[in-house]
Structure 1
Amino acid sequence: MKYTFVIVDDHPLFRGALRLALTSKASNVEIIEIGDLESAKALIEKSTDIDLVLLDLSLNGVGGLTGLISLRALQPLVPVAIVSATEDAVTIRAALALGAAGFIPKSSSPETINEAVKAILEGEIWSPLLGDEAGELDPEMVELIMCMRKLTPQQGRVLGLMADGMLNKQIAHELNVSEATIKAHVSGVLYKLGVESRTQAVIRLARFKEEVLL
């Protein structure tokens, strides 16, 4: 059986290192390397034969957890594993709560990377956390994560642009859609985040960013 893995990382040297780790003990692996989130979204949206996506947590200024939400919304059945130099327990737990199939530290040996990938392909959730360290997120963070998971990819983009201080007209221009469409997205964002104003929505997003590397 042949496997297709997509490595999404903006650092070509790390993509090469990960490719080497994944192909060193297997000849039945096809590797697709992508350097930005938008290209990854375009590929994943139209492809039906991807077995695993390995997503960098910090990608071209776009947080991996935001990217994780977007990619899983496009293809919920394609497992997405976070690969990161950040290894704090809160970020790992948040990634897994958002639906990551695993969290692989960039400091992992090739043997550990292959072990993690093998486990994920067998349907397991891979985590470097053990015992008490695995712990649980506090209830407020769990509630925030559940709200974030409800957002569609476009709603997530709109929320991010709202956080940048853009008005509806500016967001519409940025996303090349009508202002009426943006108003509808904003309403959807407010409803799913359980808030009544743009300011409150941005505050909720900021609270999330304070806790994890979004």
Structure 2
Amino acid sequence: MHQNAAVAASPSGPVAPPPPPRLTPRERQCLSLLGQGLLNKAIAHELGIARVTVDVHIASARRRLGARTREQALVKALRLDLIEVP
């Protein structure tokens, strides 16, 4: 038997993909504004929070999404339909 055929023929049936990661509303807002081209200082001003708080929200979103960079987090969030960018 071919090795790949053994992997595909799982007795428990097809394996469902894991659910998309959950982001907090503030993490989604920060990523959405990042997607509009705003820098952290402008995101902070827009949301009425400290810039360091924006840093924390974006870093948390990166961890939840398994992204190494903020840009990668933005792309993953868009692809998973977790945020919208006008």
| TM-score (structure 1 length as normaliser) | 0.29
What residue in structure 1 maps to residue 64 of structure 2?
192
Higher normalized contact order (CA 8 Å, seq sep 6+, divided by chain length): 2
Is the 2:62–2:68 contact (alpha carbons within 8 Å) kept by the matching residues of 1?
yes
| C-alpha distance in structure 1 between counterparts of 2:80 and 2:64, whole Å | 15
Segments of structure 2 that go 5 or more residues without pairing to the other structure are: 1-15
Give the equivalent residue in structure 1 for 2:53.
181
Query: Which of the numbers 144, 152, 157 marks the counterpart of 2:24?
Result: 152
SS at match of 2:80: helix
Moved over 6 A (4+): none
Match of 2:38 in 1: 166
Count of residue correspondences: 68
Structure with more of its chain in strand, by fraction: 1
CA deviation after TM superposition for structure 1 residue 208, in Å? 2.1
Q: State the alpha-carbon separation in 1 of the partners of residues 78 and 28 from structure 2.
A: 13
Which position in structure 2 is the counterpart of 1:91?
none
State how far apart, in whole Å, the 2-side matches of 1:181 and 1:205 are.
19
Q: Aligned residue for 2:11?
A: none
C-alpha distance in 2 between matches for 1:182 and 1:206: 19
Note the C-alpha offset of 1:169. 0.5
Taking the aligned partners of 1:161 and 1:200, their CA distance within structure 2 comes to 15
The CA RMSD over aligned residues, in Å, is 2.0
d(CA) in 1 for partners of 2:35 and 2:80?
Answer: 12
The percent identity for this pair of structures is: 35
Using the alignment, how far apart are the partners of 1:162 and 1:192 within structure 2?
17
Partner-residue secondary structure (3-state), 1:177: coil
| Equivalent-residue separation in structure 2 for 1:195 and 1:175 (angstroms) | 23
- Secondary structure class of the residue paired with 2:67: coil
Structure 1 position 153, deviation (Å): 1.3
C-alpha separation between the residues in 2 aligned to 1:154 and 1:203? Answer: 17
